Structure 1
Amino acid sequence: MSLQNYLNTPMGILYSEMGAFFSFSSEQFNKKKVENTIYVSLGAGLLVPKCNVKSFIEEFDKIKDAAIKQDIEDNGIDAIILRELSNYECFYTGEIEDCVEALKCYSITETQIYTVFNFHRE
């Protein structure tokens, strides 16, 4: 299980409630837009009605924080680190930088990651 698994359902609800959607072309945008609504891009193709941007960001942060907390409770820090080391193929490359970047939102330190990396390295 990854952080994304914890985010999927609540984020889907948030998108629906806030009128947010992903669009990567004019055709997609035209299918999903609501007339007379101004949209703001939040990056990576995510569009949110301008009137909902502040609320969307606040709710997104709450959802992300709750998902991280649940991931830690369910899996523990070491298992999360090991999962991300594997996801980023750190044992293959011998480098942990991508894992360090991915786990910044968890407030996991580089030292913690190195400890798990060195323990599990063959």
Structure 2
Amino acid sequence: MSLSNYTQEKQTALFESTGAFFAFSNEQLAEKKKEGVTYVSLGAGLIAPKDNAKALIEGLEKITAEGIKQDLEENGKEKIIDRELANYECYYTGDPSDCIEALEPYGITREEVLARL
């Protein structure tokens, strides 16, 4: 279980409705782009029609916020912290930095993460 379990379907639907796609090479971009549409790169390979970029960003932010809310309601902070400590292999590396950063949008503090190590 992870945040993507709560967001993936909604994100996919948003990508489809806004004409967004991922492209990691010029060949992929050429394959997916449509004639007469101006595209912008939103980072991490995400490409969107310029006219839909703002709606896409706002939609992704809303989907993420809703997913975090649902995750917290269903799992609670402690289970989420434990899950992410395991996902980032913090028990092996001894470095919880990535986990702490990933949980910031949840409103979970560094101290809360360190208390679960």
Using the alignment, how far apart are the partners of 1:17 and 1:70 within structure 2? 23
Alignment partner, residue 82 of structure 2 = 82
Other-structure match for 1:15:
15
Percent identity of paired positions between Structure 1 and Structure 2: 51
Distance in structure 2 (CA, Å) of the matches to 1:46 and 1:21 = 6
Q: Counterpart amino acid of 2:36?
A: N
SS in 1 for 2:42: strand
Which residue in the other structure is 1:108 paired with? Answer: 108
TM-aligned CA deviation for residue 105 of structure 1? 1.2
Unaligned runs of 5+ in 1: 118-122
Structure 1 consecutive aligned stretches of length 4 or more whose deviation exceeds 2 Å:
none
Deviation at 1:61, TM superposition (A): 0.6
Secondary structure of 1:43's aligned partner:
coil
How far apart are residue 37 of structure 1 and its match? 0.5
CA-atom RMSD, angstroms? 0.8
TM-score, length basis structure 1: 0.92
Provide the residue aligned with 1:69 in structure 2. Answer: 69
| TM-score normalised by the chain length of structure 2 | 0.96
